[in-house]
Structure formats: structure tokens, C-alpha cells
Amino acid sequence: MQWDPDRALQVRMAVAISLLALLPLAFVYTLSWTITHIIVPLAEVLFETRIDWQLTVSLPVIFVLTVCGLGVQYLFADRLALHSVGAKRVTPEDYPNLHTRLRRLSQQVDLAAPKLAISPSSVPNAFATGRSQSAATVVVTQGLLDTLDGDELNAVLAHELAHVKNRDAVVMSVAYVLPSFTYVVAVAAYTLLGGLWDVVGHFHHSDSDDIRPLLAVIVLFVVSAVLTILISAIFWIGSFLLFRLLSQYREQAADRGAANITGNPLALASALATIDETIPTIPDRDLRELDGGIEALYLAPLDTPMFTDGDDALISRDLFPESHPSTDERISYLRGLAADQEVAG
């Protein structure tokens, strides 16, 4: 069939790729400026000495490291995604019906049939990953195969093929580099800051003359950790917002693509409704196991707490746009497409 590329999605992906190259440079430069102009002067005051040192950053070196990091993510993102959810690639002999469906739908949009992988999770969901159209993998969960069949299953596979055709799966995989890196930096600083209380307790009964240098170290450490957390949080929020907004639009584009591929928008609407009704019945433990840091890649959102278990979430979900449009909004849009098809017919 004739596939018209989504120009708006292509523009968004181009902007995302550009920012991916610039934001890491800004992040490292901001950290280095903070160390030179805040941390070092503070150390001079606390220890009453002159420190003739400043951290210099070579932007070309940081740019090369950033490109290398993105390159590694580009090459191995699909393997990491499969490993994170325990998915294994399967052959046509293992799942002949599923391979036949995927191959037939791929032929309709002039794509080589992607590899197929199965995750043992009981959560009904699917995603596509891979560094190119010819090296793509469509992942479906065992829960999806147990929940959907017929036209609904075809519609889900078509949705993932639309991601492959739009080439947005690789952009989303690579786009998560900066949010992940800045979050790791912030959590490391937060963890070290929490461990500081053990050091303070250890020296609680020390003489005042002995504890004075320790207090200076503690103050320097606390200020450094807090500034690191704040800077990391700022860049994490910015990159994560970019990631989420791109994720929302790409899901809308894939819904349109699935409707075009199957010619049956109501099948995907029905599949989304079924999945939306099933996921709340799944234990939270199973949902967290399926996340693996790739929630935005899924057909349907998991709605799990961010970065922690239970109610004690490190960051509230309410601060950010959702990774997906609401299911009701998607179903309403697909029903509108079906109505347009009926009128055109």
C-alpha cells in the first residue's frame, strides 16, 4: 500500500536528535562551571587555603564522547530492550501463526518482516525496537497473545509495524540516553548524601578539635551533592519532557498507521480497550518487571510509580505529561477514522 510519511513526526524526531547532541554538552559544561566557580571557592573558605585549580572542559571531547555514547546506544538498544523484559526471539516454527500475520502485514507496507520476540510477562503489551527498518524486532508479551486474537492482534502488530515504518523506534531508544544518565548522576549524589549521616554518627563523640575538619568536609560534600542533584534534575526534567512529548505524538502517528495498514481502525480501538481493562488487574510486581526503563516504547502505558516501589515515588508522575495519549482519546480518534472511512466508502 502507499505509505505517506508523517512529516510532523519527522520534524519532531529531527529536533529531538539535535537536542540529544546539545543537551549533554550543556549538562557537562554546567557541572564543570559549578565546580570551578562555586565548589572550589567554598573549599577555599572552609579550609582557609588558596586552591589554584579549575576544572576545564573540552567541548570537542565531550561532543565526541556524546556521539560515541549515542552510537553505542544505537547499536545495542534493541538488545538492552529485549534483555530488560526477558524477551527471546522466536522462529516461524515456534509461532507459525504469529509470524504469518506479521509477514503478511509487512508486505502490505513494503517492509521486510521484522524479527519476532516473545516476553513471558502476563501483562498484555507490545513494542518495536531496532536500529533500522531492516534490523527491527517486534516484541509481544505472552499476556497479549492470551488476551487478543484475530483482527485485534493484527491491529496491534500493524501499530508496531507503523513505528518501524516511521523509523521512530530507534529515535526513542537513543533519546533515553540523557534522561537515564542525568537520573543516575542525581541518584548517585542523593545516595552518597544519605550515607553521610553514618559518617556524622561515627564521629558524634569525637573531640571538638578533631571534628572541625570533618565538619568542613561535610559542608563541602553536602553543597556539592545538592548542587549536583539540582543540576541533574533540571536537565533530566528538560530531556524527559522532550522524550515524553515525542512519545505521545509517535503513538498517535502509529495509531493512524495501523488504521491505514489494516483498513480497520475499530480493531485497534477494541484492542486498546481490552488492554486498558486488563492491565489494572495485573499485580504491580508484574507491571514493574515489564517496565525495564522502556515504558514509552509500549503500545499501552503501564501506569507504574516512577523509579521506585509503592507509594514512595522519587518523582511524582503528575509533574510530567504521560508517555501516551489517554486510551479514551486514542479510541475516540480511531472511531473518528472509522467514521471517515465509512463516509468515503
- 9 is written with which cell numbers? 513526526
Catalytic residue among 44, 48, 160, 277: 160
What distance in Å separates the CA atoms of residue 81 and residue 172, rounded to the nearest whole number? Answer: 11
- Looking at residue 295, what DSSP letter applies? G
Q: Which residues contact 107 (CB under 8 A, 6 or more apart)?
A: 113
CB 317 within 8 A of CB 244: no
Q: How far is CA 143 from CA 80, 85, 223, 323, 328, in A?
A: 21, 13, 48, 21, 22
Helices 7-34, 177-202: crossing angle, 10 deg rounding:
30
Helix (H) or strand (E) holding 312: none
Q: How far is CA 133 from CA 114, 127, 153, 161, 310, in A?
A: 8, 14, 21, 9, 38
Query: Please, which residues bridge with residue 141 across strands?
Result: 119
Any catalytic annotation for residue 289? no
What distance in Å separates the CA atoms of residue 244 and residue 240, rounded to the nearest whole number? Answer: 6
* Residues carrying an active site annotation: 160
